[in-house]
Structure 1
Amino acid sequence: MNDSGERKHVVVLDDDAELRTLICEYLEAHELRVSAVGSGAELRLLLGTDRPDAIILDVMMPVEDGLSVLKDIAGKADRPAILMLSAMASDVDRILGLELGADDYIAKPVNPRELLARVRAVLRRRTAGRGPEEEEVQAIRFDGWVALPASYGLVSPDGTTVELTTNEYRLLLALLRRPGRVVSRDTLMFDVHGADAEFYDRAVDVGISRLRAKLAEHDASELIRTVRGEGYLLVRRS
């Protein structure tokens, strides 16, 4: 990512050229370096040669929708912050976007000042400390598993690398930092999305469900227990 002394680089992906231009001009006027692309293919070409700090990603696009693009890039190590921008603003849509790895989900039409504030909030979490997991650099061993916070890596007891989305990994780290303790949904939401996130109980539940499913592929479905009405607990035996 760019050094803190440089202007942060934001990529705007939207198939609406007029809206794309308006967003870019507003962000540029507020000390951000902005690139504009009109499709997922153009974004991938850019990511092949540049490493932006954040991507504003439109959901509704004709050839390849934003969620497909999100799935492709969200789980990659050291990926940019991702803000979804969509006219689809129901709780279900927000939860899906967040659990696929987005850092924020913003409804259209959006006030440019609000968009700028949300971009800055996401970048602030990235550069000034997103949460305790970014301070951990040592491997965390639990029940035969190895988590590598510095690289967002997870290795199963049989040596298999397990692919998690960024949000799934943050959920796991939030539980690993509190082994044997019940962790509430609001604490998990804060650890995953930061203080600026809007809270959705179901976003945490869906994320835990997907994390469990991936652990279950390696016979570890019982590592995370639900404590009804309280939250979740990691059963750490080693």
Structure 2
Amino acid sequence: MRHLLPTLITLFLSIPLHAGLVFDQNPLELKPGPADEVVEAKFTFHNGGDKPITITGLDSNCSCLEANMDKATYQPGEKGSGTATFKVSTFVGKHEKSLRISTNDPKEPEQTLTTIIDIPVIVDVQPKTLQWVLGEAPTAKSVDITIAGPDPVHIKNVTATRDNVTFTLEEVEPGRKYRINLQPKDTETVTIGALRIETDSQYKRHTRQLAFFNIVRPSQTSKK
């Protein structure tokens, strides 16, 4: 039996393993700059199986992410490439999105390419939402705004979408830290509103920020 072992190993290694599409980088990392509205990244792969693979569909879990491939069908061992395009919009920080690639491969008809997008924070608004419960004391609550980018940014104007609140803007550290103190006139009515914050950031998509305020029923309070 021992003398048959090398032959058996050779036979085992000669059996093709099903691999489908094999990506050279998964997850794929996208790193937009502060001014970028759209960011693209190329990804590469090869057909790791022993039969041709045809791409039959491309989809993602977010309308912000799209992709295309250089062609439809890849022969065994053939290399291919694609491009992932992410629309930055109002996203900040690190986000994980998925591309679903459908093929005619019966053993693996759908594969996932994970994309990690790391978007620099220039103007950080915390918390994003201030909340009161119906009937509670209409005490003032605060939103802190920190300029996280390398250059100073100043707040030019703040407006509220509802007239049943008052607010003041406090400059804690010029160009770096601000605080908005917001107070409802009463908490007798369910309210959903926002503060529009205008800045002089050199990057267009950072010139407008939003902070939200709500007066909600007890059953709708945020669960921590």
Common fold, TM-score beyond 0.5? no
TM-score (norm 1): 0.21
TM-score, normalised by the number of residues in structure 2: 0.21
Richer in strand (by share): 2
Considering Cα pairs closer than 8 Å and 6+ residues apart, tell me whether 1 or 2 has the greater RCO: 2
Which entry has the higher C-alpha Rg, 1 or 2? 2
